[in-house]
Amino acid sequence: MSMGKFLIRRIIMALPVLLLIIFVSFAVIRATPGGPFDMVGEGRRVPQAVIDGLNRQYGLDQPLMTQFIRYLASLARLDFGPSLGRSSLGEPVSEIIGRGLPVSMQVGVFSVILGFALGIPLGVLAALYHNTIVDYGATFLAVLGTSIPNLVLGPLLIIIFAVSLNWLPVADVNGIWRSTIHNPAVIFSWDYVSLAILPVFTLGTGMMAGIARLTRASLLQVLREDYIRTARAKGLKERTVIYGHALKNALIPVATILGPLLAAVLTGSFIIERIFNIPGIGGEFVSSVASRDYNLLVGVTIVYSVFLVAGNILVDVMYTWLDPRIRFD
């Protein structure tokens, strides 16, 4: 099967899943007691007439299926509907997502890069010096990395580097995060680096650990293969054997970790963005839950789901691309 056919089939298979998750989030959040307009008046009880009026205005008085079909129809035009939250009432959800998503993506992408940049060398070292002190040290580091949750590492780093040592800023006072959307060059400035380094490090170390463990296991297995023995037997330098023959094949399974990594970026974005006050999409999701901002919540859920589904397909494609023995089927 060709690549194009494979992609089309996977995307068609993914559509019902997406539809289901949209419907579930759509219906469940509407079934949850408490509506978006209950608390509009600064915590005072809002008159029922006002709530009814707002519900009518935003079509929330319609039967569930009518609402859902209308929503799908607007989705087809890439319109996520208006926000129903208190502070952003009426603002298009797509704008809120468009504002937050690039910021979240920056943190995610840099963390993934950091994770690979640290994890692969660590895993290779551990495998090459198998069962020596280097191996134990690297393995311990990797296990430690998986054992300290972001929830703990983040605040600790803030206390150490931002509060006690005062090397890094505690908060984004000048709106640096948002300014990257209009001016991407900002990411090379110290203002940006000093803000981004802690969240990226926090998220990246967790990934580093997983990547290192996987690289080590995979390389150890490859080093036992016959073709490695052949390469050694014909007198190749050890360096050529390892970097030319072994590592290339050992990294194939490592590519599969991209799927779980995407999920980790996702989870991370919820936690990291709250701890470090990053104006990303994860923070929007969390606040949309509390304020019953139906459209924003479903919108962000869709974005996340599309990312995860796309990530899974990407992993499959990468697998076949990296390892010609595997075919599309």
Closer Cβ to another protein, 103 or 303, answer by number:
303
Contact characters 307-326, another protein, x per CB under 8 A:
-xx--x--------------
Residue 295 in the binding site for another protein (CB under 8 A)? no
161/137 Cα distance (integer angstroms): 25
**In the window 17-76, what residues touch another protein (CB under 8 A)?**
17-18, 20-21, 24-25, 28-29, 31-34
Using alpha carbons, select from 222, 312, 309, 300 the residue that is nearest to residue 258. Answer: 312
Least distance in angstroms from the C-beta of 309 to another protein:
6
Least distance in angstroms from the C-beta of 222 to another protein:
11
* Residue 186 three-state SS: helix
Closer Cβ to another protein, 200 or 308, answer by number:
308
Least distance in angstroms from the C-beta of 142 to another protein:
10
Judged on CB neighbours under 10 Å (0-12, 13-18, 19+), 274 is middle
Output the DSSP codes for 220-263. HHHHTSHHHHHHHHTT--HHIIIIIIIHHHHHHHHHTTHHHHHH
**In the window 186-245, what residues touch another protein (CB under 8 A)?**
213, 216-217, 220-221
Give me the count of residues in the chain. Answer: 329
Among 80, 161, 294, 304, binds another protein (CB under 8 A): 304
Q: How many residues bind another protein (CB under 8 A)?
A: 51
User: Is there a contact between 193 and 110 (Cβ–Cβ < 8 Å)?
Assistant: no
How far, CA to CA in Å, does 169 sit from each of 16, 174, 180, 191, 274? 45, 11, 17, 9, 16
Among 50, 72, 113, 156, binds another protein (CB under 8 A): 156
**In the window 241-270, what residues touch another protein (CB under 8 A)?**
263, 266-267, 270
Q: What are phi and psi of 82, to 5 degrees?
A: -85, 150
User: Is there a contact between 86 and 290 (Cβ–Cβ < 8 Å)?
Assistant: no
Least distance in angstroms from the C-beta of 146 to another protein:
7
Handedness of CA 83, 89, 95, 98 (dihedral sign): negative
Q: Which residues bind another protein (CB under 8 A)?
A: 13-14, 16-18, 20-21, 24-25, 28-29, 31-34, 139, 143-144, 146-149, 151-152, 155-156, 159, 163, 213, 216-217, 220-221, 263, 266-267, 270-271, 274-275, 285-286, 289-290, 297, 301, 304-305, 308-309, 312
